[in-house]
Structure 1
């Protein structure tokens, strides 16, 4: 494991996962993280700062306000695990969607059940049919939830009036994740879907070759940035492709073992402000020495 840090002057993009990485275990931006990132972005105004998350855009609002990056030029958002990319001015830079035929097949295969609720990411909205789960997503994850009748909504999708970026499953018990992965395996292969599991409750399916890594690669190509000019941070299995896309993948100490295999560096845990700690040593080392 290399201990050599990248040179600040050569880095053009910082891309970070949110939950389990940028924020504390309580889901908050710490005071140290807030101050360090604000200092770095003030010192390097041309540095691109990217939030790469499974979240939809409304669920990033408080974090953006804390970091003072709302409407900041050179700030981008790779959301819904890479299905949609926004620029700093809320314009959609790129997006991908799932086929209505697939969504009908998923609905017929599973039907609503108490142990597995499914949801749809539609731009800013998270649409689902269960009021209790909608409240959990709204209160605990700050998602902008909409409750719909599932049969009526499937018909809206099939009519083409609604485009779905991502299909998500809220699993009530971690032990049954494999059960639903197995049920959906044939559809995953038929439609060549990408998938990710973010413990403990989120199992998600995206359009082919769509994930945080492909989203970041789209952005890198647009900005003409090379792999060795990009740092990424993550903690979970859905960050693997994000790590593969860059030259400087950095895992927080609390990351899963699978992700750590792809890391060039490991920083402190999210409980110890790991992202802020290593960014400070890269971009603000002169201040640390004084």
Structure 2
């Protein structure tokens, strides 16, 4: 297959232990040299992704697990939460006294200081500085559209959010934290807006990732590569399994498949 585009996840793929893997820049440079379209596909916010993009020189990215896609500064997909959904999230988390973080396109917000017991989670994912805001500012739209909420809640609350806010996709990324975003969001939807723009069929695209939020991409793109540190169910959905992120799994996979 004549592949023309390569999508890559960030955490657990290009980033491990809060650091870009040493071969990340080489991977991107060699892909660029071969003429591939290159994009990041992540659950991270735009603010949380900007540093990685600048370091690697990648201008195309799908954020918020498909809630927002931006190619060379142009928004190709935007799926923010409805204001009524944001209001429901605020009420439910307040009722259960669960801290949360809200993400707009350019800001990371919270209503109160995140408790110290959750700080290691934020540090492990290199969260950007969090601004304090108010419920009124959020509900009035003053802060901007909300694309995602991170809620600090244990696994037994997953069904509570699914039942009370059915218009949200619930994605657990830590035993104490979930993402809430608009139902229907998927990395693959954002990626396909790029492919349409580039006139490249999905069969000629590659995706490399390690999480459950990469499975939609694995099922949609022509070639799927799971990292060695991925869970068994993620690996089962991939065409190829490579080495772990910290062992330059992305570079090894692309070289072994003679894509670079």
Q: Does the alignment reach a TM-score above 0.5? A: yes
Q: Does the residue aligned with 1:98 lie in a helix, a strand or coil?
A: coil
Q: Show structure 2 runs of 5+ residues with no match.
A: none
Say which of 252, 265, 269 aligns to 2:240: 265
Contact 1:36 1:280 in 2 (8 A): no
1:138 Cα deviation from its structure 2 partner? 7.1
Q: Does the residue aligned with 1:21 lie in a helix, a strand or coil?
A: coil
**Counterpart of 1:44?**
34
Aligned length: 257
Contact 2:21 2:246 in 1 (8 A): no
1:98 Cα deviation from its structure 2 partner? 1.1
CA RMSD in angstroms, aligned pairs only: 2.5
Question: For residues 148 and 53 of structure 1, what CA distance do their matches in structure 2 show?
Answer: 25
Say which of 30, 54, 62 aligns to 2:21: 30
**Counterpart of 2:219?**
244
Q: Show structure 1 runs of 5+ residues with no match.
A: 1-6, 286-290
**Counterpart of 2:210?**
235
Which deviates more from structure 2 when the two are superposed, residues 124-133 or residues 138-147? 138-147
TM-score when scaled to structure 1? 0.79
Question: For residues 161 and 35 of structure 1, what CA distance do their matches in structure 2 show?
Answer: 38
Question: For residues 194 and 94 of structure 2, what CA distance do their matches in structure 1 show?
Answer: 37
**Counterpart of 1:181?**
158
**Counterpart of 1:275?**
250
Kindly provide the CA deviation profile for residues 138-197 of structure 1, in whole angstroms up to 9, marking residues without a partner as x: 785242522113x3234323xx773111222134xxxx22x22121122343x2x33322
**Counterpart of 1:4?**
none
TM-score when scaled to structure 2? 0.87
Question: For residues 265 and 230 of structure 1, what CA distance do their matches in structure 2 show?
Answer: 14
C-alpha change, 1:144 and 1:81, in structure 2 (3 Å) is: farther
Kindly provide the CA deviation profile for residues 69-97 of structure 1, in whole angstroms up to 9, marking residues without a partner as x: 15xxxx41001111111122x33222111
Contact 1:129 1:147 in 2 (8 A): yes
Question: For residues 54 and 27 of structure 1, what CA distance do their matches in structure 2 show?
Answer: 15
Matched, 1:143 2:128: yes
Q: Does the residue aligned with 2:130 lie in a helix, a strand or coil?
A: strand
C-alpha change, 1:128 and 1:161, in structure 2 (3 Å) is: closer
Structure number with greater Rg is 1
